[in-house]
Structure 1
Amino acid sequence: MYEQKTKQTDASVIEFIEQVDHPKKREDAYRLLDLFTETSGYEAKMWGPSIIGFGHYHYRYDSGHEGDAPLVGFSPRKAKISLYFATGDTEREQLLATLGKHTSGKACVYINKLADVDEDVLKKLIQQSILFLQERYPTKK
């Protein structure tokens, strides 16, 4: 049976950020921590060894594969900062068009530094991603 690799842990978010080598990237990580916390309304938690996630949802694909993931998150990696937002949302693409300097993959948006992007658009991406995932994967009561 498939074992999900990236799970929420009890590791310290602050200790993780303090281990970021580059001072400017560490500074950006603290600013992102504030932005994501304020915008999402969720407390930051470590997911796996290197993702700072906010909130969570349980997904189940048509294939039967299921698991848990953060609603949104980021990771201050060596090369670039990875931002994690929902995939499959058409509004995401419209917002990304106005975000600023970035590249994107299937699930990640990559930025070199926070100064390269519009923080107001980043806040909208966080809000839109959470809304999209909560509608797509509602919490069962």
Structure 2
Amino acid sequence: MKPTGADVAGLIARATPAVRRRDAETLTALMQEVSGLEPATWGTIIGFGACHYRYPTGTEGDTPALAFAPRKGASTIYLLDGVDRHADDLAALGPHTTGVGCLYLKDLEEVDQEALRRILTRSLAWIDAGGSAEITVTR
């Protein structure tokens, strides 16, 4: 995956429903604050920074260090370190669902913003530390 150079504001403006646009603006500001980086489009994903990952299987690639996508059903937040490391904050977060490495939020106003900030900060710190034995990450 690589940055596409498309307009971030345009991607946000096209998001539906309206709650997704509102949440995309909030997530963009939050991730920019946490990362200290400007947003960039990676296809339909809004990403901050970049890193290279490698699994023990040899699978490797490039991805944003922090990222989300304003999908129709929910805002999808991508966590390279997975969701298991964030169990305590997820318990305090409020309404959400998860996948192995994704956090799905239907309405950002219904979740604990500080818990979300801690999740993003911890995920970025994990990346900056080089990942783990299972996933090697370099920025």
1:45: which partner in 2?
Answer: 40
Question: Paired residue for 1:10?
Answer: 5
Unaligned runs of 5+ in 2: 132-136
- Name the amino acid aligned to 1:104: T
Partners in 1 of 2:105 and 2:84 — Cα distance?
A: 20
- Contact kept, 8 Å, 2:83 with 2:101, in 1: the verdict is no
Kindly provide the CA deviation profile for residues 19-41 of structure 1, in whole angstroms up to 9, marking residues without a partner as x.
Answer: 11322221111111111111111
TM-score normalised over the length of structure 2: 0.87
Give the secondary-structure state (helix, strand or coil) at the position aligned to 1:62: coil
Partner of 2:126, secondary structure, is helix
Q: 2:28 aligns with which of 28, 33, 37?
A: 33
Q: Is the 8 A contact 2:83 2:100 kept in 1?
A: no
Tell me how far apart the structure 1 counterparts of residues 116 and 82 of structure 2 sit (CA, whole Å).
Answer: 17
- After TM superposition, which residue ranges in structure 1, 4 or more long, deviate above 4 angstroms? none
Identity %: 38
In structure 1, the gaps of 5 or more residues are 1-5
2:107 to 108, 113, 121: 113
Q: Which residue of 2 aligns with 1:94?
A: 88
Greater relative contact order, per chain length (Cα 8 Å cut-off, separation 6+): 2
Determine the structure 2 residue equivalent to 1:129. 123
Count of residues paired in the alignment? 133
Rounded to whole Å, the distance in 2 between the matches of 1:91 and 1:21 is 30
Deviation at 1:88, TM superposition (A): 4.5
In the TM superposition, what is the alpha-carbon distance from 1:90 to its structure 2 partner? 5.0
Aligned match of 2:134: none
> C-alpha distance in 2, partners of 1:102/1:84?
13
